[in-house]
Structure 1
Amino acid sequence: MSSKRTASGCQPSFSSTSKPSSASSLGSVGELAIRRRAQDTTTTSTVSSRPPAQPPKFSSLLPPMFVCLLMGTIWSVYVTFHVLPLLQVQLPPGMRQQQDVRAGILHLLVSQILSVFVVICYARAMLTLPGSVPDTQEWKLFGRHEVDGLRRRAALTKEVKLSGGRRHCKWCAQYKPDRCHHCRVCGTCVLRMDHHCPWIMNCVGFRNHKYFFLLVIYSVAACGFIATTLLESVRRSLEQEMAMSSRFMMVLGLVLSVIIGTLMLIFFFFHVHLMLNGMTTIEYCEKNALAHLGGANKRQSYDRGFYRNLKAVARGWCSVQDQPFGYCRPPRRRGTAQASRASPGTRPARGTETRPTPSGPPPTSPDACLPQRRAKRLFGSSLLPPPSSSS
C-alpha cells in the first residue's frame, strides 16, 4: 500500500511499501536519495569548481583606504582645531581658563574612547571571517554518505528551491544551509549572509555581523559627538580673527562628520528594523521583490522575538563554541558541562549532578534548528536520524 507525505512544499513525495520501521525508513531515504541523485545529474554540467583564492585587487582596497582617510581627517581636525585650543597648551598654567580646560579634557576623553571603539570594530568587521559551510561529507553535493547526509539536511533545513530540491551552490559544489548565499566577490558561501560591504572589503555574515552593527552604532555616536562639540568652535571662528585655512579645516571637519553621521544614522535605523523582524538585507530585498511582482511571500519567517533576534546578531552574548551553530543548541542543565568536559573513565566532582549529554550531530543551520517534534511534523519521521540506543 503506497502513501505520500508532503510538508508545506518542503518535502517531496515518496512511496512506502511496508510498515514504518527502521528498515523501511532507510529504504525510503535510499529511494529518495536515488531520485535526488538522478535529478542532480542534470545539473552536473553547470556545477563548477570553487575558484581559487586570489589576493585582493587594488580596486577593492580603495574603499577601505578612503574610509581610513576620512576617519583620520575628522580625528586630526577635531584634535587640532577644537581640543588643543580648549586645553590652551600654548599659554602658561596660570593664564588658562579652567572651564575651557575641563571641557577640553572631557571632549578629548570621550572622542578618543569613541574613536578607539570605531577603529576596533572596523578592524574586527574587516578581518573576521563571516562563516562558511562546513567542509564535511554531509554537505558535499556528491558525497559518499549521501543517504545519511540527505536525512540530516532534510531534518535540519527548511528552505528549498522552487523545484522542491535542496538548495546547493554550483560554484562550491555544496548544499547550502538556510540563509546561506554565495558571494561572488569573496568566492565562497557565507552563513546567514546579510550583504557584501565593499567599505570593509568583506561580507557581513554570521560571525562578524555583531562587529558590523557595533561599528554603525559607534560611528553614529562619534560623528554626533564631534559635530555637536565642533559646532561651538566653528561659531567662535566666525566671531574671532582666524586664518582662512584654519576656518576652512574646521568647517570641513564639521561637514564631514554631519554627512557621515547622517548616513550612518539612516543605516542604523534600517538594521535595527531588520534585527527586530529577524531579517537580513538579502531577505528584505527578496521580500520586496516578491511583493512588487504580486506573488506570495513563501520564505520562512525567522522572527523569534526581540531577545532571540538580538542574540542572533549579538552572538557574543551567547555560548557560541567553535562551530558557528552553537547558539541554536538547547541550554545545558546544571552539571552537564562538567560531565561533558570530563575525560572518559573519570568520575565527576562530588555534589555535581550528572545528566546524559545530547547525542547526534550538532545543528547545522544558525536559524533553522527545529525541535524534534516539529521536524517530524514537517519532514516525516522517515527522514529523521534514528534515535540513539541507550545502553
Structure 2
Amino acid sequence: MTSFRGRLWSRLEAVCRFMPVIVNTVLVVSITGEVMYLVMVEAPLEPEQKERDWAPLWKGVHLASQIFMFGNILWNASLFLRTSPSIRGVFLEGSAVGQGWRYCYACETHIPPRCSHCYDCKVCVLRKDHHCVFFGQCVGFKNYRYFLSCLLFMWAGLLYAVVLNVEVFIIILKEGITPHSVLLLLMPWIMLITGQVTARAFAFAFVADTCVVGCLCVSAFLFFHVALMLRGQTTREWYSNQRPYSLGWRRNILECLGERWYVAWLCPLIPSPFPGDGIHFLVTAPPSGVRSDNVNSGKN
C-alpha cells in the first residue's frame, strides 16, 4: 500500500509540475486564435471601415506580426525549458574554491557565488534568480536570456491583443453601463452558468478579460526583470538589497543576454555567447560577509 501511494504521489507531482506549462500554452494559443479571428472576420465594427482600414495588405501585416510574436513566445519557452540552469554537467571540483563559495549538503558539493539550491528542482542552480512557477523550472545563468525574451514577446502580444479587443469592450458596453454588461466584463463565468449569455459572447469576454489581466501581470514581471538586469542583480540579491556584481548597464545587459545582446532578443536562434561561465563573476563591491580587501574590481 505504501509503495502504491508513493507511485501515485510521484505521478501526481509530475502532472502538477507540467500543469502550469499546459495552462499557459492553452492561454497563449487561445488568445492568438481569438486575435486572428478578430483581424480576419470581426474587425472593425463598421462595414465601411473594413474596406478602408482593413484591406488584405493590412490584414497580412497584422497576421505576420501575430505569427512572429507567437513563434517567439513558443520558441523561447521551449528553449527555456530545454536549457537546464543547474550545476549538473558543470565541472566544479576543479575550480578554485574561494570567497563566496559554500557547501551544499543536499548536492554534497561546493557551490560558487550566486549559486543556490532549489528544493523544487532538487538541484543547485548557477546564478539562480528564482524558481518560476509558471514554467515549473528555475531561472538561472544559462536560460535567463530565453526567460526574458519570452516575457518581452508575451508582453508585446498581450498589449497588441488588448488594443484589438477594445472592439469587444465597445460591443459589450454599447448598451451602456448596465448590470448585465458589468457582470459580463467582470464575471463572465457566472453569466454563462446562469444562461445570461451565449457561449460565443462568454468566450470573447473571457479572452478579452484575460488579455487585460495578463498584460498587467506580465508588464510588472517584465519591467521588474529589466530593472534587475540593468542593475546587475538577481531577485535573491534584490531581496537582500545587494549590488556587488553591477558592472554598468551595458555590461550588465551583456552578462544576461550575451555578446550580441542588441539583436539576441529578436530571435532565440541568434547565437549570443555569454562572456562568463556562471561560476566566476567580477565584483565592484564586497558582498555581505566578505572583506573589501578580497574583492576584485571589475567595473568598466
What does 1:59-78 correspond to in 2, within 5 Å? 59-78=16-35
Q: 2:84, 2:143 within 8 Å by CA — same for their partners in 1?
A: yes
Secondary structure class of the residue paired with 2:131: strand
Contiguous gaps of at least 5 residues in structure 1: 1-53, 88-95, 140-148, 160-165, 288-298, 319-324, 329-362, 371-376, 380-391
Secondary structure class of the residue paired with 2:93: helix
In the alignment, which residue of structure 2 is the partner of 1:182? 117
- Cα gap change, 1:277 to 1:217, in 2 (>3 Å): same
* Structure 2 residue corresponding to 1:214, chosen from 149, 159, 169: 149
CA deviation profile, 1:32-60 (whole Å, cap 9, x unmatched): xxxxxxxxxxxxxxxxxxxxxx8861111
Shift of 1:233: 4.8
In the alignment, which residue of structure 2 is the partner of 1:34? none
Q: Which residue type is aligned with residue 69 of structure 1? A: V
What does 1:199-210 correspond to in 2, within 5 Å? 199-210=134-145
Q: Quick check: 1:260 aligned with 2:260? A: no
Distance 2:86 2:259 in 1: 15
Shift of 1:369: 7.7
CA deviation profile, 1:155-197 (whole Å, cap 9, x unmatched): xxx32xxxxxx41110111111110001111111111000111
Distance 2:172 2:278 in 1: 60
Q: Which residue type is aligned with residue 221 of structure 2? A: F
In terms of fraction of residues, the more helix-rich structure is: 2
Distance 1:187 1:202 in 2: 11
In the alignment, which residue of structure 2 is the partner of 1:171? 106
Instruction: Work out which structure has the larger RCO, using CA pairs closer than 8 Å and 6 or more positions apart in sequence.
Output: 1
Q: TM-score, normalised by structure 2?
A: 0.70
CA deviation profile, 1:199-232 (whole Å, cap 9, x unmatched): 1121100010000001111111000011102213
Q: Which residue type is aligned with residue 125 of structure 1? A: F
Distance 1:64 1:326 in 2: 27
Q: Quick check: 1:101 aligned with 2:36? A: no
CA deviation profile, 1:296-322 (whole Å, cap 9, x unmatched): xxx66011001111011102627xxxx
Q: Which residue type is aligned with residue 74 of structure 2? A: V
RMSD value, Cα: 3.2
Distance 1:119 1:364 in 2: 25
- Cα gap change, 1:109 to 1:115, in 2 (>3 Å): same
Q: Which residue type is aligned with residue 74 of structure 1? A: I
- Cα gap change, 1:97 to 1:312, in 2 (>3 Å): same
In the alignment, which residue of structure 2 is the partner of 1:130? 85
Q: 2:118, 2:125 within 8 Å by CA — same for their partners in 1?
A: yes
What does 1:229-268 correspond to in 2, within 5 Å? 229-236=164-171, 244-268=198-222
Contiguous gaps of at least 5 residues in structure 2: 1-9, 45-49, 176-196, 262-272, 285-292, 296-300
Shift of 1:85: 3.3
Distance 2:81 2:199 in 1: 35
In the alignment, which residue of structure 2 is the partner of 1:153? 97
Distance 1:199 1:205 in 2: 15
In the alignment, which residue of structure 2 is the partner of 1:365? 279
Identity of aligned residues (%): 22
Shift of 1:82: 3.9
* Structure 2 residue corresponding to 1:378, chosen from 294, 297, 300: 294
Secondary structure class of the residue paired with 2:138: strand
In the alignment, which residue of structure 2 is the partner of 1:305? 248
Distance 2:52 2:199 in 1: 28
Distance 1:182 1:211 in 2: 21
Q: Which residue type is aligned with residue 261 of structure 1? A: C
- Cα gap change, 1:153 to 1:235, in 2 (>3 Å): same
- Cα gap change, 1:76 to 1:364, in 2 (>3 Å): closer
CA deviation profile, 1:275-328 (whole Å, cap 9, x unmatched): 1211101111233xxxxxxxxxxx66011001111011102627xxxxxx9613
Shift of 1:238: 6.0
Q: 1:234, 1:247 within 8 Å by CA — same for their partners in 2?
A: no
- Cα gap change, 1:316 to 1:66, in 2 (>3 Å): farther
Q: Quick check: 1:113 aligned with 2:68? A: yes
